[in-house]
Structure 1
Amino acid sequence: MKPFKFLRHALIAFTVSASLMNVSYAADALKMELQANKVVKTADGKISYIPASNAQKGETVQYRAIYTNTIDQPISDVAVTLPIPANMIFTGEAKPSSAQATIDGKNYADMPLVRKVDDKVVAIPLSEYKALRWNIKWLPANKLADVSLNTIVN
């Protein structure tokens, strides 16, 4: 299979949202930096990250967003969301682990997501996850919040 060139385009079109419950600073409070890196295990067993411009099917790609509070006051109740790109499957690994997930882009719940099938509660496959959201209760002035999720190229 050819390298996935869509990753470069996905980063351009990638929608990362931050909604502020205290909207007085919504326009300028957060600066976001998005990274997409292949997760590579080195010969000595350590993990390294390299740009994911040519990820192949089956490779792990980490999407990482760093949000910086750019104002001189703390902000509270910040919800930041990372969509899971098409052609990617969430691995179940997210940092911080307090992330909530959605399968419809609207309703978020703690992971693992479950549903009722034939009167039994079953886990929803990770392949159905569409986005993750983290609720950041407090972000001090000029500090950052770092969130990430791992995916596999499908």
Structure 2
Amino acid sequence: MIIAAKRYLKILITTTIVSTAFFHTAQAADALKMELQATKIIKNADGKARYVVVSNAQKGETVQYRATYTNTINQPISNVAVTLPIPANMTFTGEAQPKSAQATIDGKNYADIPLIRKVDGKAVRVPLTEYKALRWNIKWLPANKLADVSLNTIIN
């Protein structure tokens, strides 16, 4: 799990750098700083969720990845696309915040969740096991403010 987490962080850092290419208001390459936190979701006896920073996790446990994007410049940024890949050893649960997330099964084409495809002429939902990444469009991020996105996964 620790090796997978390090590989995932490397992918996310690359994703953050790529995301800066979508800026319209600000063109500074270092305008957006991303911090990633992985937490294990543990349900208490009363059903309330408790979030514990992950040092290791086992098969079947739920892990939430939360990315905080901070605008580090003194001007607003608009229409920033940020992406979180879903690690190969995990399955997206269908829970993401904000709910405006789009998903991909091929890493190129994104659509609103739930993803739908035609099978024998009928529209059917794409299994969550096929989701590869989620993307959000941050419409407006004021100077020196932050935006959070998150997705929940289950370890396979």
CA distance in 2, matches of 1:64, 1:55: 16
Q: Does 1:10 align with 2:10?
A: no
Q: Deviation of residue 9 (structure 1)?
A: 2.3
5 Å-filtered alignment, 1:1-154, equals 4-15=1-12, 16-17=15-16, 18-19=19-20, 20-22=22-24, 24-154=26-156
TM-superposed CA distance for 1:51, in Å, is 1.8
Provide, for residues 74-113 of structure 1, a one-character-per-residue CA deviation record: whole Å limited to 9, x for no partner.
0101000000011000000000000000000000000100
1:37 touches 1:49 (CA, 8 Å); kept in 2?
yes
For the residue of structure 1 that corresponds to 2:106, the secondary structure is coil
How many residues are aligned here? 151
Moved runs in structure 1, 4+ residues, more than 6 A? none
User: Counterparts of 1:146 and 1:107 in 2: how far apart (Å)?
Assistant: 23
Q: Which amino acid aligns with 2:107?
A: G
In 2, the alpha carbon distance for the partners of 1:105 and 1:26 equals 25
Q: Aligned AA for 1:113?
A: L
How far apart, CA to CA, are the structure 1 residues paired with 2:139 and 2:152? 23
CA distance in 1, matches of 2:45, 2:7: 30
Bigger proportion of residues as helix: 2
Superposition RMSD in Å: 1.5
Residue by residue, what CA displacement relative to the aligned partner does 1:43-87 show, whole Å, maximum 9, x if unpaired?
Answer: 343211112221100000000000000011001010000000110
TM-score by length of 1: 0.91
The code of the aligned residue for 1:41 comes to K
Aligned partners of 2:117 and 2:107: how far apart in 1? 16
Cα separation, 2, equivalents of 1:116 and 1:36: 35
Find the aligned partners of 2:57 and 2:11 in 1 and give their Cα distance.
16
Unaligned runs of at least 5 residues, structure 1: none
Instruction: Give the distance between the partners of 1:90 and 1:12, measured in 2 at CA.
Output: 17
Identity of aligned residues (%): 70
- Mapped to 1, the partners of 2:23 and 2:76 lie a distance apart of 13
Distance 1:10 1:53 in 2: 15
TM-score (norm 2): 0.90
